[in-house]
Amino acid sequence: MRRGISVEAVVANLTRQSHLVEENGVRVQKLGSWGTISRKPFTPTLPLQLRRKDVDLIHIHLANPMATISALLARPSAPIVVTYHMDIVKQRRFLTFFRPFLHRFLDRVERIIATLASLH
């Protein structure tokens, strides 16, 4: 806890095991993944974790379909801020299915921070 702020990260673990670690003074809840969908970890416990957390703010990095759908399912009471790093571009079939969920999610977030990607 620095400056009176407590930070906890919830991330996907590359194995099925979930566990809590501390890295650089930050609690990191690593949730077990059950494989991947469209190259992203499938973490079925994420909606439950988002619902259980008593936090002031949730920050989600996109593109992350699992986090997007999990936040829609969990309906957390805390405001959500999104850092939008990139669109889904290679998995066009998946994007066709996913786009309505993404739009619904983005309509509900408090703020969107867009990053500028280099095209080199």
36-57 pLDDT, tens digit each: 776 778 888 888 888 887 888 8
Residue 35: its pLDDT value, please?
Answer: 82
Whether the per-residue pLDDT at 99 is higher than 90: the answer is no
Residue 120: its pLDDT value, please?
Answer: 54
Mean pLDDT of the chain: 83
Intra-chain end-to-end CA distance of the chain, in Å = 39
The phi and psi torsions of 8 (rounded to 5 degrees) equal -135, 130
Whether the per-residue pLDDT at 5 is higher than 80: the answer is no
70-91 pLDDT, tens digit each: 999 999 889 999 998 876 656 6
Whether the per-residue pLDDT at 105 is higher than 90: the answer is yes
CA distance 31 to 20: 9
Q: Give the tokens for residue 72.
A: 């829609």
Task: Provide the Cα torsion 44, 65, 69, 8; round to 10°.
Answer: 70
Q: Domain residues of the chain, as ranges?
A: 36-114
pTM for the full predicted model: 0.76
Residue 54: its pLDDT value, please?
Answer: 82
